[in-house]
Structure 1
Amino acid sequence: MKYASIDIGTNSCRLMIAEIENGGFKVLYRDMKTTRIGAGLSSSGQISPEAAERTLQCLGRFQDAISRKGVADYLIVATSAVREAANRAWFEELCRLRLHKEVKVISGEEEAHLTYKGVQKSLLLDRPLLVADLGGGSTELIYSQEDLYVRSLPLGAVKGAEIQITERQIMDILEEIKEVKVRFSDAALVFCGGTATSAVAMKYGMIDYDSSLVHGQRLKKAEVQQCYDSLLNMPLEKRKNIRGLQTERADIIVYGLMIMLNLMRVLEKDWAVVSESDLLEGLIWEMDELKSPKSASS
C-alpha cells in the first residue's frame, strides 16, 4: 500500500511517499523545500502572508507529486510554528481553500510520539531510545519505556536564531531535564532533524546529500563541539560554501548545534545516533496501522 506524508515545519516543508508491504517500508520519493513559515513569528506572533504563500506554493507542488505517483492516502501535518501562531485558524482556512485538504496541527506530544514511531521502526539498537527531535521551532523529547517521558521544549534552530538565544537561556530551559536525567542513563540518545543530519553531512563533507549514509551514524559530543566552534565566528557567506551544509540552513545552524550540544551535556551523553527517519515515517506507519489494525496489533 502506498502512502504519503507532508510535514509543515518551522524551517521547511517535507514530503515522503512510501510503500508498506508485508511489514517492509520502502521510500519511493522524497522532497524538501526551505519555506520558513516561522520567519518573524518570534517577534510578531503571526504567520506572515509571504511565509504562508511560500508554504502554499510548495504544498501545491507536493500535491502534484502525490497525484503523479498515484497515491490516494496522505496526510498533511503542521508542527511548532503553526500551532504557536495567533493566526493559525487563518492559515488552516487558507489551506482548505487552496489545497482542498485539511491540515492537521499536531501537539508537541503527538509530534514526539509519531517521531518516536518513525525512529523506533528504523533503528535497531541494543538499548532503550531517548529520541530528541530538534526542529526549527521546538525540540521534542520522548523516552517510551514503562516509565514514559514526553516533553516539547521551546528550543529550535529558527527560533533560536531569531531571538539570538544564549547558552544560558538554553540551559535554563533544560533545567527540568537535569532533574530526571538519571532515568535515561542506559538509553541511547537519538537526534532527528536538520541540525543533526547536517552535522553528519558536514563531518563527511558530502557534496550530494545521501540519507542512507547519514541514517544510523554516530556523532561524538567532541565532534559536535568542533563543528560548533568552527562555525561560530565564521562569516555567513563562508558558511554557505561548506560541504554538507544547505545554503538555506547557514544562518540557523549555529543555534541548532548550540541546542544539540547543551542537550548532550545536560544528559551526560558522549555520543548520539542520528536518525534520518522521523515524523514523516511515523505518520506513514500510523496510516498503515489504521488501515490494517490486525497487523498493528500482532
Structure 2
Amino acid sequence: MKAAVIDIGTNSCRLLIANLTNHDITPVYRNLITTRLGDNIANLQLSPKAMDKTILALDQFKEVMENHLVKTYRAIATSAVREASNQEAFLQLVKDKCNINVEVISGEEEAYLSYLGVRNSLKLEMSPLVIDLGGGSTEVIYENTFFLSVPIGAVRVGTNNYSSSDIREAFKILFNKKAEFSNNPLVFVGGTATSLVAIKEGLEEYNSQLIHGYTLTRNDIEGLYKKLQEMPINIRQSLAGLQPERADIITEGTLIMLVIMDILGKDEMIVSESDLMEGTLLTLDIN
C-alpha cells in the first residue's frame, strides 16, 4: 500500500511517499523544501512570510500526493508550531489553503517516532541512544525508558546566539546518563548529521544509501566544524554536500552535536537517514 508522511519542521517541510508492506518501507518519492517556519519562534510567533512559504511547499506536496494516487497520509508539525501562540491560525490556514489536516505532535511523540524509524532500519547489536537534532528542538530517546526534549536546535542556536556553555547547560541532565549509556551506540538523525557525511564525502548528488549507517568520529566532526567555521557563508553555499539553505545553520547544528558527544563521552556516532518520517509511516493503519 502506498502512503505518505509530511513533516512540518522548524527549518523545512519534508514529504516522503513510500510503499509499506509488513514494516518494510520502500521509498517512492522524497522532497525537502526549506521554509524556516521557526525563524521568529523566539517571539513565540510564526511569521506571515514563513507561513506563506510553508503553504506554498505544502501545496506542492499535495499535488505530488495526488499525482501518486496517495490516499493514506499523516501530516505532522513539530517544535516551531508546537510552541507558537498563533498555532491554531496556522493550522486553519493549512486546512483552508491546502486541505491538509495537520497534527501537532509532542516532543515525546517526536522522539518516539524517530526511534521507531532508526530501530526499523539500522540493525544494531545493542539498542541505540537516538538523538534527533532538529531546527527548533533536540530529542533524546532510549527504548521506552528514557526521553528528553530540549528546545535547542540548529535554527534556534543561531537566532538566540547560544554559546557552547548555554547548550551544555540545556543538556546537563545527560551528565547523569553517561555511565548508563556508555556501551550503547549513539545515533544521530536530522539534517546536520546527514549534511556532515555528505560534506565529508564531497557528494555532488545526495546519496542516501551511502549516508545511512555511516560512522563519523569525534575527530571527523571537529575537523568539519573547524573547516565550516572558517568559511564565509557565501563559500559554504557552494560547498559540495551542503544544501545552500543550510549554510547559515550547519555550524550551529554541529556545535550541538559536539557538546552532546562530549557530555556522553562518545568518540563516534552513527548517522541514520531514517527518522521520524519512517517512524510515522510505521504508525499508519494500512488496510
TM-score, with normalisation over the residues of structure 2? 0.98
Question: CA offsets, 1:206-243, max 9 Å, x none?
Answer: 00111111000000011000111111132111111211
- Identity among equivalent positions (%) equals 45
Q: Which residue does 2:195 correspond to in 1?
A: 198
Measured against aligned partners, the alpha-carbon deviations of 1:51-76 in whole angstroms (never above 9, x if no partner) come to 00000110010011111011100011
Q: Work out whether 1:275 is the aligned partner of 2:268.
A: no
Q: Which residue of 1 aligns with 2:72?
A: 73
Partner of 1:296: none
Q: Residue 181 of structure 1 corresponds to which residue in structure 2?
A: 178
- In the TM superposition, residue 284 of structure 1 has moved relative to its aligned partner by 0.5
Tell me the equivalent position of 2:118: 119
Give the letter aligned to residue 9 of structure 2: G
Structure 1 residue ranges without an equivalent (≥5): 293-298
2:41 aligned with 1:41: yes
CA separation in 2, counterparts of 1:23 and 1:227?
Answer: 35
Q: Which 5+ residue runs of structure 2 have no aligned equivalent? A: none
SS of structure 2 residue aligned to 1:27? strand
Deviation by residue 1:172-197 (Cα, 9 ceiling, x = unmatched): 11111101222211211000000000
In structure 1, the residue corresponding to 2:178 is in which secondary structure?
helix
Instruction: Summarize the alignment of residues 1-80 of structure 1 with structure 2, pairs less than 5 Å apart.
Output: 1-42=1-42, 44-80=43-79
| SS of the residue 1:187 aligns to | coil
The DSSP-based 3-state class of the residue aligned with 1:256 is: helix
Deviation at 1:22, TM superposition (A): 4.2
Mapped contact 1:219–1:273 kept (Cα < 8 A): yes
Q: Match for 1:260: what amino acid? A: M
Matching residue of 1:92: 91
- Contact kept? 1:128, 1:186, Cα under 8 Å: no
Runs of 4+ in 1 over 2 A off after TM superposition: 21-24
Alignment partner, residue 231 of structure 2? 234
Instruction: Report the Cα offset of residue 77 of structure 1.
Output: 0.4
- Residue 295 of structure 1 corresponds to none
Pair 1:262-2:281 in alignment: no
What's the counterpart of residue 205 of structure 2?
208
Aligned residues, how many?
287
3-state DSSP of counterpart to 1:82:
helix
Secondary structure at the aligned position of 1:65 is classed as helix
Secondary structure of 1:28's counterpart equals strand
Q: Tell me the equivalent position of 1:248.
A: 245
Query: Deviations for 1:20-76, whole angstroms, at most 9, x for unmatched residues?
Result: 12442210111111011011221x220011100000110010011111011100011
Alignment of 1:137-148 (within 5 A): 137-144=136-143, 148=145
